Structure 1
Amino acid sequence: MIPPRTPEAGTPRKYHGRQLRKVPIPTIDVVSGVRDYVVPPTRRLAHILSEQKRREKINAGFEELKSVIPECAQNTDSKATILRKAVDRILELEQELRRYTADFEGGEEGGGGGGTLQDRKQHHRLKDWEE
């Protein structure tokens, strides 16, 4: 097998008919420890720390989400699976809420029928409070 040809140093490469300029890549001289084209260490460190903090927040959010989704509580699911199960759970809860709302507004709640919607909501709150 013939090894691929590498362009000679200083020769611009062509890409779809256009010449590309080489962008200097930060390097470290092993002997002297001097870097060429250095990003200031404080900026680099600040970026590393902020990225680490961002990842920690995302992971904490996933852990919190796992704790409130019954199907995820005891599993070691991937983040994609956790999100899918969270969406499924939210859709279930929305459907359940629509069903309860329809029953409540339809007067099928038993005992709270009649009157305005506000009266029925107040009756429902009092009924829950008494129990």
Structure 2
Amino acid sequence: MSNHSNNEKDSKEELDRIILKKRGLDEVNDLIKEEGLSPSSSSDQNQQQPQPRRQRRARKAPHELLTEAEKKANHIASEQKRRQNIRLGFEQLIEVVPSLSQGNRSEALILQKSVEHIRHLISVKNDLKDQVRDLQGLLGEPYVLQLI
């Protein structure tokens, strides 16, 4: 009888270990404490270094879950924030790209002109690098600088 209860206990511990392997490390540590399992009953604990504990979020009780109206309000607020960030990005492009300083500008035009401006800047940078190489060649070896 005692042997049967030991086998049952061993199989329960084995099942617990399988379940624990599938959960995050924080949950494993919490469950070990809650279930009164010793760290030696989990084979993972012997192989891993102790890691700093993260705060575990408590699951909200059903009465604390958001209502549909609250979910909708949160969604609307998130969407408004996203749109505001996009608007801000377009405003920053208008400030930086010289050809966008006047007139009506659609979002498509802002993006097209921004790409043109970036390509122009890359071309200017490459021309300047070529000029630096030419000047370094004229000045000789001691004046050669590393180009970015």
- Shorter-chain TM range is 0.5 to 0.7
2:92 paired residue number = 64
| Count of aligned positions | 80
Q: 1:96-111 to 2 correspondence within 5 Å?
A: 96-107=124-135
1:89 paired residue number = 117
- Indicate the structure with greater strand content: 1
State the alpha-carbon separation in 2 of the partners of residues 109 and 75 from structure 1: 46
User: Which gives a bigger RCO, structure 1 or 2 (Cα 8 Å, sep 6+)?
Assistant: 2
Structure 1 residue 117: Cα displacement: 3.0
Structure 1 residue 74: Cα displacement: 1.9
State the identity %.
31
State the alpha-carbon separation in 1 of the partners of residues 101 and 137 from structure 2: 33
Does the 8 Å CA contact 1:62/1:79 hold for their aligned counterparts? Answer: yes
Over aligned residues, Cα RMSD in angstroms? Answer: 2.2
SS in 2 for 1:76: coil
TM-score, normalisation: structure 2: 0.49
Gaps of 5+ in 2: 1-66
Aligned partner of 1:76: which letter?
N
- Indicate the structure with greater helix content: 2
Match of 2:103 among 65, 75, 93: 75
1:48 paired residue number = 76
Does the 8 Å CA contact 1:103/1:109 hold for their aligned counterparts? Answer: no
Report runs of 4+ in structure 1 exceeding 3 Å deviation.
Answer: none
